[in-house]
Amino acid sequence: MTGVNLKRGWKLFPSKRLEAALIVGLVAHLSIGSAAGPVIGIVSAGGSFALDTATVTGNGTLFHGSMVETGKSASELRLQNGVRLVLDTGTRSRVYRDHLVLERGTGQVERGLAYRIEAGQFRIEPGQGLAKVSVLGPRVHVSALGGPVRVSNASGMLVARLEAGRGLDFEPQAAGASAPSTVSGCLVKKDGRLLLTDGTTGVTYEIQGSGLEKEIGKRVRVTGALDPSRAAVELTVHATQIKRLSGHCSVNGTVAAAGGAPAATGAGTGPPAGAVAGLGIGTKAVIAGVIVAGAATGTAVGLTRNDTPSISQ
């Protein structure tokens, strides 16, 4: 009996040892995989920078989810999908295959088709254009450097559409999404609907409410609640207050389709809305709990690779 058990023990021991080795190897493989995702590109700089937990000089490999912190030199990121980004000095961000999470400083997207930047509570989508984004505490600055740039809030609602050369500041309002929205522009009627393209955000809204017909063709400021049930199709404001800002405003007989395109030349121009105080320069709007302010002239200046002095906002 002892001999039989001894033989059985010799037969079982190698298999148990192999099983243990396989488990150890699997755990090690999973540990390595969790520490570094798949390779997505490279990062380079004229000086040193931090890549995940290491200090790197020159070039480094980017993994899905890598943390990049620039020092005194700007860094250039080249992803395998063709996306190119520039991080200004003193910038910290986490890089993914399809988006960049900007935690501090300034990042710029180049050749970023379908690539986005997430900064604070905002999502910036440059499409085929270029966009520069700066995190300034609770405030986020966005500049459109080439082509239109879309900015959405955390829930995906469009809050601004910037044309090339424009810069806007975005800051969450204390009252949040429940706060009334305020937009200003030329009120026009098209296909039986009243439409207004906000002069600050460049977004077109359908305005609903009583006493609006007499304001058609006038520049007005509308305060009301956004209709969340229709946000997926179009942006609708149920007006609770309307104020005429100026007389006739020309839209050349046309208006952009509701949902984001700007109105024809002449719409949304005129004096500042003046509805919100304390942020930015120029006109302002409040959209779903976000204060949007026109930025100072000349802010839409792009980063250059390996800049030594910072040119962040």
Q: What is the pLDDT of residue 147?
A: 81
d(CA 213, CA 187): 9
CA neighbor of 58 nearest in space, from 71, 68, 48: 48
CA neighbor of 197 nearest in space, from 208, 181, 183: 183
56 DSSP assignment: E
Amino acid symbol at 266:
G
Q: What is the pLDDT of residue 269?
A: 33
Q: From the centroid of its chain, how far is CA 13?
A: 58
Q: What is the pLDDT along the chain (313 residues), one digit of tens a residue?
A: 444 443 444 343 444 443 444 333 333 333 344 445 799 999 999 999 999 989 999 999 999 999 999 999 999 999 999 999 999 999 999 999 999 999 999 999 987 678 999 999 999 999 877 899 999 999 999 999 888 999 998 888 899 999 999 999 999 987 666 778 999 999 999 999 999 999 999 999 999 998 899 999 999 999 998 887 765 556 788 888 889 988 788 654 444 333 333 333 333 333 333 333 334 334 789 998 899 998 754 455 666 655 433 334 3
Q: What is the pLDDT of residue 233?
A: 54
User: What is the number of other CB atoms lying within 10 angstroms of the CB of residue 185?
Assistant: 33
8 DSSP assignment: H
For residue 178, give Cα distances in angstroms to 153, 209, 225, 233: 14, 19, 8, 20
Q: What is the pLDDT of residue 263?
A: 38
End-to-end CA distance of the chain: 84
d(CA 59, CA 66): 14
Query: Domains of the chain by range and CATH?
Result: 39-170 (2.60.120.1440), 176-294 (2.40.50)
Do residues 238 and 223 make contact, with C-beta atoms less than 8 angstroms apart?
Answer: no
